[in-house]
Amino acid sequence: MSHFQTFEQLERASRIEHGTEIAPGVVIARRSFVFGALASGAALLTACQSSSATKLVRVSDNERALEDFVHALRPRARALVAAAEPDEERYLEHAARALARLQAPEVGVEGLEAGKWNMKSRCHFRPIAVFEMRLAPGARLELHDHRDYNGVLSCVAGSVRCANFDIIGDVAAARAQSGDTPFRVARISEQTLRPGDVSTLARAVRNLHELEAGPEGAVLYDAFTYFEAAAGSHTVVLGARLADSPGHYEARWAAG
C-alpha cells in the first residue's frame, strides 16, 4: 500500500476535480492559478492549475508560502537529482531549515474522526511535491518505506511521535522480496516533533518511519524530492523484536 503518491500519479490527478479521494486518506486540493512569487513563471503554473481555466481563486498567505518554498528549493532539487554523487544530507538540511519556517494552516484537525488522518497534495513541480497531513489525536501512520525519494517532515501544529528505521543488510535485495519473505530492520531514532521541529529521511538512511499523533493531534508538512517519477511508499509490517540484536525487528512487506 502506498500513502504518498508517485509523481506520475500526482500529475494525472491534476486533471481530477478538487476534493477527489485518489487513495485512502489522500485528497486532491488545488486552486486554479497561483498568485505570488510563482506567478512570474507561467510554465510552473501547470501543476496548480484547475480543470476549469476560467475561474481564478485568490490564495492565502499560507498557500503562497508553500509555493514560494518549492520555487526557491527547486533549482537545488534538480541539481541534486542530476548529480552523479548527490549530497542528500546537505540538501535535506537546507530544505529542513526552510520548511520549518512555514506557519500552520488556519484549519487544524477539527472534523477528523478519532484515530483518523488525511493528506492533501498542496503543490508539485518536478522533482518536488509538498503534502499537508492532518492526524486526529492518537492517529497512526504505519511503518513505510520511501523508495527512490527523500523527504523532510515538519510539524506545524500539535505533536507527533516519529520513529525511523533502516533496513539491515542488502537493501536492494530486501526491497525485491515478496511479502512472505522476512527481512531485518533496525530502529535508529525516535523523537516527538512539535511546532518548529523537523525530521528528515534520505534514500539510504532513515528511510522507513512510522508516525503517531499526540493527544492534541498534529498538522504536518511533508516535502519530498523524487529521484524517479514512479517512486512511491511501501508499507512495512513490523514483526517481533529479535533477541540476538537490540533494536532489531523482523519485518515483511505488506500485501497489496
**Ramachandran angles phi, psi of 78, nearest 5°:** -65, -40
As a whole number of angstroms, the distance between CA 174 and CA 125 comes to 31
Q: 56-90 pLDDT, tens per residue?
A: 444 567 778 888 999 999 999 999 999 999 999 99
Helix (H) or strand (E) holding 98: helix 88-100
Its pTM stands at: 0.79
pLDDT (tens, 9 = 90+) of the chain, 256 residues, equals: 556 666 666 666 554 444 555 455 555 455 432 322 333 333 333 344 333 343 444 456 777 888 899 999 999 999 999 999 999 999 999 999 999 999 888 878 888 888 899 988 888 888 999 999 999 999 999 999 999 999 999 999 999 999 999 999 999 999 998 878 999 999 999 999 999 999 999 998 999 999 999 999 999 999 999 999 888 899 999 999 998 888 899 999 998 6
- 8 A C-beta contact, residue 45 and residue 125: no
167 pairs with which residues across the strands? 185
CA-closest candidate to residue 194, choices 161, 223, 165, 166 = 161
What is the residue extent of each domain of the chain?
A: 7-253
Helix (H) or strand (E) holding 67: helix 61-82
- Give the pLDDT score at 37: 31
Amino acid type, 136:
A
Amino acid type, 165:
F
CATH 3.40.630.30 given to domain 7-253: no
- Give the pLDDT score at 113: 87
Strands 208-226 and 21-23: unpaired
Taking each helix axis from N to C end, the angle separating 88-100 and 61-82, rounded to the nearest 10 degrees, works out to 170
- 8 A C-beta contact, residue 220 and residue 105: no
Strand boundaries in 46-147, DSSP class E: 117-125, 128-135, 140-147
Using a pLDDT cut of 90, give the percent of the chain over it: 57
Q: What is the largest CA-CA distance in the chain?
A: 63
- Give the pLDDT score at 3: 61
Q: 89-113 pLDDT, tens per residue?
A: 999 999 999 999 998 888 788 888 8
| 83-92 long-range contacts, CB within 8 A, separation 24+ | 88/150, 88/202, 88/203, 88/204, 89/202, 91/150, 91/225, 92/150, 92/152, 92/200, 92/201, 92/202
